[in-house]
Amino acid sequence: MRDGAEVIVHSQDGGGRVRCTAYRDLRLANPVFIVLAAYGSREAIDSQQDIASALHAELTGPMGASVTTAACGGSVPDLGQCHARHEHGVEKLLVLVGDDHSLPTDELVRLSADWARNGWPILPLFPWSGQGGLSSRLPVAATPANAHFWKVDAAQTLPAVMATANITTRQPRIFISYRQIDSAALAIQLFDALSHAGFDVFLDHFRIPPGVNFQSRLSQELGDKSMVLLLESERLDESQWVAHEIAVAKACGLGLLGLLLPGGQPQASLEPENRRTVPLADFAGRQFDKDATLLPAALERIVQEIKQTHDRALVARRRMIEHSFEGAVYRRTGTLPHRSRDGAFKVTGGGKTYQVWLSPYPPDTPDFHRAHGKIQHLEDGVVIGLSRLMEPAIQTRTMWLADLCKLHHVDEGQIARAAKLMLQGKL
């Protein structure tokens, strides 16, 4: 998008005026244009402003984005009127923010029809009390879209907004590290709640079949996730696997969140800012043992915290990998590699040109499909991601897929070596 903006957000102030805010420095695979459109009631406008404020705070705070000058100067006459709307390769998202009774305005009906006609995603957001008769209160063009609901305040929908816009991911991944003898029921409760919230959750109770190499599968599952949730219980130090799981998470730049349980021992390797204390009052019957589970309100609060931590960890990991690659090239050339708007880096050397895609996850079919479709004639495509923790069979499948797509596949631990070879034209 213009002026290097990666995210442009349209929102409405209390007087109905449209504000345009642009952000950069997020390292997204594609630029994003988000329109936050409120139903006409005061409640809906306030909820829309809450979402806009929460999005601004999250982008400019933990995710490290900076505000840049929008091409329009920050004000436009109508929602959705932006150069980004007409640009190819820009993700577009229309967020409809409603209440429990109002009908959509004519402007929302028009916007929804325009978005649906172009095949762009629409995300309806409503309070929990607004579920009844919802289909009759949605614009016709938005009725196929799955609505999302908040229970306490509209800002709770922020993870859904960022995931649908592809600022984060629609397929969050998390690894639960725990000791069965201490916290089995809680781990299963969190597995169930996070799975219902759309997470791909690893819990050894469910995910390791008999006969599989336990340590090999643990390492692969860790490498496949964005964060580790650590249940700090009384006898966690006695687990032979927890130290390994924390060490791998740190070495791979994964997010870490510890839940300090009643009577639990804080792990010295976990920084205090990455820990949340769960008081006894949060558990059913105000008691904690291996069969204890969280009260519904506490469970919802913790799941919301996990969503937030996961999204921040994913953005931080994406930024870490890109900085590592840029640094490897800069140390040899004194200049940073060019980064295109689709997130690929261009490196030239030894008479060859490479297009390089970096993945925060172990590379899989979508990564190779995207790279294969983007490389130009006489260019070499390179996909870099965490692959050293893969089980042998999956490594073999991944290398076969890379060869089939005529792409180079590089483990992120070999970034410096790969950059050197690319600059020499020898990769």
pLDDT tens, position by position, 383-424: 999 998 888 888 999 999 999 999 999 999 999 999 999 999
pLDDT beyond 80 at 425: yes
The DSSP H or E segment spanning 34 is: strand 32-38
- Tens of pLDDT, residue by residue over 305-358, are 999 999 999 999 999 999 999 999 999 999 999 998 888 999 999 999 999 999
State the pTM of this model. 0.88
* Separation of alpha carbons 26 and 63, rounded Å: 7
Which residues make Cβ contacts (< 8 Å) with residue 251, sequence separation at least 6?
A: none
Per residue in 171-209, pLDDT (tens digit) is 899 999 999 899 999 999 999 999 999 999 999 765 566
Q: What is the pLDDT of residues 75-116, one digit of tens each?
A: 788 888 888 888 888 999 999 999 999 999 999 999 999 999
At 72, the pLDDT band (50, 70, 90 cuts) reads confident
Q: Is 193 helix (H, G, I), strand (E, B) or coil?
A: helix
User: Which value, to the nearest 10 degrees, does the dihedral of the CA atoms of residues 198, 305, 125, 168 take?
Assistant: -60
pLDDT for residue 7? 95
Sheet holding 407-411, edge to edge: 338-339, 345-349, 352-358, 379-385, 407-411
User: Which residue, among 375, 397, 373, 378, has the nearest Cα to 387 in the 3D structure?
Assistant: 397
Q: CA 392 → CA 219, 244, 361, distances in Å?
A: 12, 20, 17
- Per-residue pLDDT for 152 more than 70? yes
Torsion 117-21-56-26 (CA) sign: positive
Radius of gyration of the chain (CA): 23
Would you say residue 375 has pLDDT above 90? no
Task: Check if the beta carbon of residue 104 is closer than 8 Å to that of residue 133.
Answer: no
With cut-offs at 50, 70 and 90, classify the pLDDT of residue 223: confident
Mean pLDDT computed over 25-48: 93
Closest Cα partner for 277 from 255, 295, 302?
Answer: 302
**C-beta of residue 242 within 8 angstroms of C-beta of residue 267:** yes
CA 316/CA 250 separation, integer angstroms: 13
| Summary mean pLDDT of the chain | 91
CA–CA separation, 52 and 41 (whole Å): 17
pLDDT score at 347: 96
54-63, 231-240, 410-419: the lowest-pLDDT one: 231-240
Instruction: Determine the pLDDT at residue 221.
Output: 84
* More confident of the two residues 130 and 219: 130
pLDDT digits (tens, 9 = 90+) for 264-319: 989 888 889 999 999 999 999 999 999 999 999 999 999 999 999 999 999 999 99
For residues 241 and 210, the model is more confident at 241
pLDDT band for position 251 (50/70/90)?
confident
Amino acid symbol at 75: S
The confidence score (pLDDT) of residue 205 equals 65
The Cα 26–Cα 7 span in angstroms is 8
Query: Which has more confidence, 71 or 81?
Result: 81
